[in-house]
Amino acid sequence: MMEASEFFDLSDELQQMSNDISEVTSRSNAMAMDLNETNADVEELTREVVQLAFAAGMGVLLPKTKHEMIEASFDDLELQFDELLKAVQYEVTHSVPRLPKLSKTDWLFASGCGLVAALIDAFLVGIPHKGHAKETGSPLTDLLRKIGNNDGQLSPVLKWLESKCKVPYDLSVMKNVVYPQNHRLRSFAHDPVLGLLFAMLDCKFGTCTVIDNLGKIQIIHRDSDPMPLLQSVVFYIGHLVSDVCTSSGLPIPGWCLTQLFAKEGRSGLSLATIAEELYREGYDLRHLVSMSASVGIGKLILGLYMRLQYGKPEQASETLIYERELDELQIRLKNEKMLLIMNSVGSAGNLIKFLAPPASGNPAALNLPQWVSMLNSSINTARAATRDRSAELAVVNRETIDSVWKELLA
């Protein structure tokens, strides 16, 4: 028969309950410690958010009491932090402008360079003419016309080149195609840039590639023996040099393409007719050189100013490579922006020259290099303004983050 002490022996169950109570107590203590650490983290995070908001010039609304701070939803804090992040990103984005700001001195100097270019264009480049007293002429072009040409007589060296460098594409007379005053304009091989390929083909096959009165390309076969490739290149250069100093000179590079547009407009004139008239009046390669002088001098003066005013970024050993590259980029962007200002003033001056007497709308008064430079500056400035600024923003963003962390750790 079982004894009473054995029937009521609860020592094992009591020991198990004691172990369970100890475990619960241990977990409660751990949870209390975690809660204290969480409260400390919340207080630290709140302090950092307040400091970041202060650095960004923002106000942050936080719970008034410690109990409310602990019980506050993290959603509100996250929302405020997102707003703070957006404000910082906005500040960083606008700290790297698409184009750098110019000082008053930069604006005045760039405008002054454009004014110098306009004055040179008006008084030294002038308007090319051949015997027309109604126009002032071009002193620079007239000076260039005297090189290698003394009262219509070529120098002995040029005469020798003219006699030795005979080419099949030098066709000067053909009905409804070319005549002496326009055969260099109509012949592709006489173009100073595009002509080399056509010159080699014409010399190889004994042909002359020209544009007729209707704007159509014709390949005319000449009684000429095929010429070796190297000889055709040498003859092309020699023939151009002998032609450039003659009274008709050589056309502006690419000017021959205007002869393809022979269809008459509403005015009764075609682009081919206008371009040919300009060439005959002296709008040739020599006048292109004189027109380029105004643009070149303006750019030279502006380049000297940029060198003296900004020079190159400091090459100190402690300067990081990406910081130095960012400084160099800002200088290049300033230079491009100042070039646009200079070309705008220079182009405006040339437009006044074109509209005012004695030109009064004469196309020969237009400075082709000036307008090409203006177009080039406009394209470059537009590309600079729409460039990918990710790398620049990353550099500035990194500097901003570093400075904020230094403030937080101070």
Domain of 48 in residue numbering reads as 23-94
HEC secondary structure over 147-177 = CCEECCEECHHHHHHHHHCCCCCCCCCECCC
Amino acid at 137: G
Residues 30 and 88 grouped into a single domain: yes
Residues 178 and 276 grouped into a single domain: yes
pLDDT tens, position by position, for the chain (410 residues)? 445 445 445 566 656 666 666 776 777 677 767 767 776 766 776 676 666 666 655 555 555 454 454 444 455 555 665 665 565 555 555 556 788 899 999 999 999 999 999 999 999 999 998 654 444 578 999 999 888 887 778 889 999 999 999 999 999 999 999 999 999 999 999 999 999 999 999 999 999 999 999 999 999 999 889 999 999 999 999 999 999 999 899 999 999 999 999 998 888 899 999 999 999 999 999 999 999 999 999 999 999 999 999 876 555 445 567 677 788 888 999 999 999 999 999 999 999 999 999 889 999 999 999 999 999 999 999 999 888 877 777 666 666 666 655 655 55
Residue 352 domain-assigned? yes
DSSP-based three-state secondary structure for 210: strand
CA distances, 47 to each of 40, 52, 249, 259 (Å)? 11, 9, 80, 76
Residues 259 and 354 grouped into a single domain: no
Q: Which one, of 264, 253, 250, lies nearest residue 214 by Cα?
A: 264
Structure tokens at 184: 């260099």
Q: Which of 226, 245, 280 is the last residue of a domain?
A: 280
Q: Which one, of 289, 249, 94, lies nearest residue 158 by Cα?
A: 249
Residue 221 domain-assigned? yes
Residue 75 domain-assigned? yes
Q: What pLDDT sits at residue 1?
A: 47
Residues 275 and 351 grouped into a single domain: no
Residue 56 domain-assigned? yes
Structure tokens at 169: 């594409």
Residue 399 domain-assigned? no
Residues 88 and 55 grouped into a single domain: yes
Structure tokens at 241: 């040099």
Residues 199 and 250 grouped into a single domain: yes
Residue 127 domain-assigned? no
Residues 57 and 29 grouped into a single domain: yes
Q: How far is the C-alpha of 373 from the C-alpha of 367, rounded, in Å?
A: 10
Residues 315 and 252 grouped into a single domain: no
The DSSP-derived string for 93-131 is: HHTS-SS----HHHHHHHHHHHHHHHHHIIIII----SS
Whole-prediction pTM = 0.74
The DSSP-derived string for 355-369 is: HSTTTTT-GGGS-HH
CA distances, 309 to each of 108, 109, 314 (Å)? 13, 11, 13
Structure tokens at 12: 């094992």
Residue 154 domain-assigned? no
Q: Which one, of 294, 303, 382, 291, lies nearest residue 339 by Cα?
A: 303
Q: What pLDDT sits at residue 170?
A: 95
Q: How far is the C-alpha of 390 from the C-alpha of 292, rounded, in Å?
A: 38
Q: How far is the C-alpha of 83 from the C-alpha of 205, rounded, in Å?
A: 75
Helix (H) or strand (E) holding 218: strand 217-221
Q: How far is the C-alpha of 60 from the C-alpha of 92, rounded, in Å?
A: 20
Q: Position of tokens 């203590």?
A: 29
CA distances, 216 to each of 211, 213, 269 (Å)? 5, 7, 17
Helix (H) or strand (E) holding 332: helix 321-355
Residue 213 domain-assigned? yes
Q: What pLDDT sits at residue 226?
A: 92
Residues 296 and 219 grouped into a single domain: no
Residues 301 and 275 grouped into a single domain: no
Q: What pLDDT sits at residue 137?
A: 78
Angle at CA of residue 361, ends 357 and 366, nearest 5°: 100
Residues 259 and 337 grouped into a single domain: no
Q: What pLDDT sits at residue 71?
A: 47
CA distances, 15 to each of 11, 12, 23, 29 (Å)? 6, 5, 12, 21
Q: Which of 257, 280, 303 is the last residue of a domain?
A: 280
User: What is the domain count for the chain?
Assistant: 3
Residues 171 and 218 grouped into a single domain: yes
The size of the chain, in residues, is 410
Q: How far is the C-alpha of 257 from the C-alpha of 67, rounded, in Å?
A: 84
